[in-house]
Amino acid sequence: MKQIHVKVRSDHLERQVSVAKPILAVTELVWNALDADAKKVRVELGYNKMNGLQSITVIDNGHGLSYADAIPAFENLGGSWKSSQAKTKGEGRLLHGKAGKGRFRAFFLGDQVTWKTFYEDKGSVQQLTIQGARSKLGVFTLSEPVPAKRERTGTEVKISEIQRNFPSLEGPNAVQEMSGQLALYLRKYPAVQVSYNGTVVDPSSVEDLVTDYPLGEIRLDNDRVIADAQITVIEWKTMAERSLLLCDADGFALAEIPSGVQAPGFNFTVYLRSNYIRELDQAGALIFEELDPNFRKLLDAARNAVKDHFRRRKAESAVNIVKEWKEQEIYPYEGEPRSLLEQAERQVFDVVALNVSEYLTDFDKTDARSKRFSLRLLRQAIEESPGAVQKIIQDVLDLPADKRDDLAALLKRTTLSALINASKVVADRLDFLRGLDILLFDPQSKEQLLERSQLHKILEDHTWIFGEEFALSVSDRSLKDVLKKHLHLLGRTEEPVEAVLRDDGTVGIVDLMLSRSIPQSRADEREHLIVELKRPKKVIDSGVYDQIESYAMAVAADERFRDTKTRWIFWAVSDDIAPNIRVRARQPNKPEGLVLEVPDAHLTVWVKSWGQALESCRGRLEFFQRNLEYVADDESAIALLRKLYSKYLPSAISGADSVADKPA
């Protein structure tokens, strides 16, 4: 007999024992079996005379563990042979465990763990026994190899002296949990068979729908770009806990967290896959995943994609249900909508009616006459009065109290149409931001987009991008027109207006002038934002900076501006900023982007990238986006741009060479 001492501190071993769920400890032993090329793995639960859980045994037909491999395998934590390999030795399947942690998870379930392993050595099968105890964590007893009384290889791991019951390990829920953990692996290797207490673990038999989505490039705070992230959403036919499994790029689950997505009527598991997750696991950082701002970006992208998935699924379900209502002749509308208004009314009706039918568990069981009556009353309520909606839903359709109260409280303060309009404004702005993103950063569009004939025209109607408080005064005009507009706003229209000249005697042309009045005791308190827009491929270099500075200095030097309490803010905006200008924009004790400040003239000059400007807009809309659960995708964004600005769009976006079909 030989004693093996794990070369690591005891407190570190204690951390390896802990798992969030008992089934995860069992699954770790199954993974070990699969990594040993097992084609069949059985989990068996043993009971005592009182029908209490007495033992858990995992049996496989893998290649076993030789005496020579057992010593380093049990002696080192993190030094497993798997850490330098990508595939199993025999079958060439992908490896799951690479840190040697799996064997310690067994001690979460019981005080005694025994490994009986059978391996081939020089043409014969040898048997080896390894034992460990929770009370002596990190110390294993290894027997000398002896000839086995059987001809096949494999390993049996038995957990005994179980000190408490684990109800979650019994019944169909345990099989479903293990199905979720192994789903991607068993889909990849269908010849592998895993059974749990007599029931085959077959995810495909309870899968309703499997969908994959790439998440695109995700830029972290340290400028690292995660390009391999993707999610797989599996919808189950049976009840399942809605969870999000954190997986490496090969789909091996390394941790499990709540999904963070509300999707009534769906049972699902989300698999977030990236090698970045494997890196975090190796660094022991997955247990703090919600605290890591970089990893939160990955999680947010995944959860947004999941929400978008279930919005589409909900819409598909809605179409089918409405189709059924029409076939049953209980739908309260006939024929096709005769106007856009009627089409909008039907859409509102469909949304409300579908939610009502979901809350009423017996709605589908009622007869056609009752359904027809209820749906017609709901239509009447929506068309005639929002106040009637609350009463109809309360008296006839019996919505849950909290939902009824929320809707009633809202409709006391506003109308249903106002709620729809407000939601549409936010949704359109999110779509516009996404569309602008594509215009500015898609390689084809970026190359084609022109300043004055395209970008200016599109942005004229969306000055909220530069601040909700600003209104457009002039677009693409000379500094003389800027002055004329300024004097008009101050009520000084009688003064003659002469051209404002730059140092070289030329008349400058500005792109956008936006103005706002500042709430003060005097009416002449104003603020003007002058925006110099550059086409995306034009970098803000010294030439662009000199141009915007010359505009600013022309204003500062003009005596007509000196007797007003007006602030002048000049922006130069493009996709990128040259290194020498970026240095000027990052001065100590000054806000990022500020390159020139003339206090006496109440004048500042800024350089900004479109990334900074759009991120600021998204920040302002984040609260509404979160509560609307709306995600602007490429398709909806480009559709909005085509609807409003088709004649100003470059060909890459207008339809000829559309990027709408590119993955997000």
Residues 83, 90 contacting (CB under 8 angstroms): no
13-27, 565-579, 620-634: which has the minimum mean pLDDT? 620-634
Choices 3.40.50.1100, 3.30.565.10, 3.30.70.270, 3.90.1200.10: CATH for 2-199: 3.30.565.10
Share of the chain above pLDDT 70, in %: 70
Beta-carbon contacts of residue 334 (< 8 Å; ≥ 6 apart): none
Q: Helix crossing, 293-327 with 340-359: angle to 10°? A: 100
Stronger pLDDT, 411 or 141, i.e. the higher one: 141
Is residue 131 within a helix (H) or strand (E), and if so which, with residue range? strand 124-133
Q: What contacts 633, CB < 8 A, 6 or more positions away?
A: 308, 434, 664
Given a contact cutoff of 8 angstroms between Cβ atoms, the answer to whether 69 and 221 are in contact is no
Strand boundaries in 479-619, DSSP class E: 509-517, 526-533, 566-574, 594-598, 603-609
- For residues 397 and 382, what is the distance between their CA atoms, to the nearest angstrom? 14
Encode pLDDT of 576-590 as tens digits.
889 999 888 888 888
Q: What is the pLDDT of residue 494?
A: 46
pLDDT recorded at residue 484: 56
**Do the beta carbons of residue 331 and residue 357 sit within 8 Å?**
no
Q: Is the dihedral of CA 465, 470, 474, 477 positive or negative?
A: negative
Q: How far apart are CA 202 and CA 187, in angstroms?
A: 9
Q: Which residues of 66-98 are buried (b: 16+ CB within 10 A; e: fewer)?
A: bbeebeebbbbbeebebeeeeebeebebbbbbb
**Averaged pLDDT, 16-21:** 74
Look at residues 428, 435, 462, 430 and name the one whose alpha carbon lies nearest to residue 449: 435
Tokens of 88: 């199993």
Question: How many whole angstroms separate alpha carbon 458 and alpha carbon 432?
Answer: 10
Please say whether the beta carbons of 115 and 69 come within 8 A.
no
Residues in the chain: 664
pLDDT tens profile 144-172: 999 998 989 999 999 999 977 888 898 88
- For residue 658, the model assigns a pLDDT of 40
Per-residue CA distances from 578 to 55, 348, 574, 575, 585 (Å): 67, 50, 11, 10, 10
Of 129-138, 253-262, 490-499, 645-654, give the lowest mean pLDDT range: 490-499
Which are the contacts of 69, defined by CB distance < 8 A and separation ≥ 6? 81
Q: What is the Cα–Cα distance from 181 to 273, expressed in whole angstroms?
A: 13
Q: Are the CB atoms for 191 and 91 separated by under 8 Å? A: no
Q: Are strands 243-247 and 268-273 parallel, antiparallel or unpaired?
A: parallel
- pLDDT at residue 126 tops 90: yes
The pLDDT tens digits of the residues spanning 336-393 come to 888 777 777 777 777 777 777 766 666 777 788 888 887 887 787 777 655 555 455 5
Torsion over CA of 488, 493, 495 and 498, rounded to 10 degrees?
Answer: 50
Domain 436-618, what fold?
A: Trna Endonuclease; Chain: A, domain 1 (3.40.1350)
Look at residue 272 in the predicted model and tell me its pLDDT: 95
Helix axes 293-327, 275-282, angle to 10 degrees: 130
**What pTM was estimated for this model as a whole?**
0.50
**Tokens 């749906």 sit at which residue?**
375
- Angle at Cα 570 formed by Cα 568 and Cα 572, nearest 5°? 175
pLDDT at 358: 66
Looking at per-residue pLDDT, the higher value among 495 and 261 belongs to 261
pLDDT at 399 over 60: no
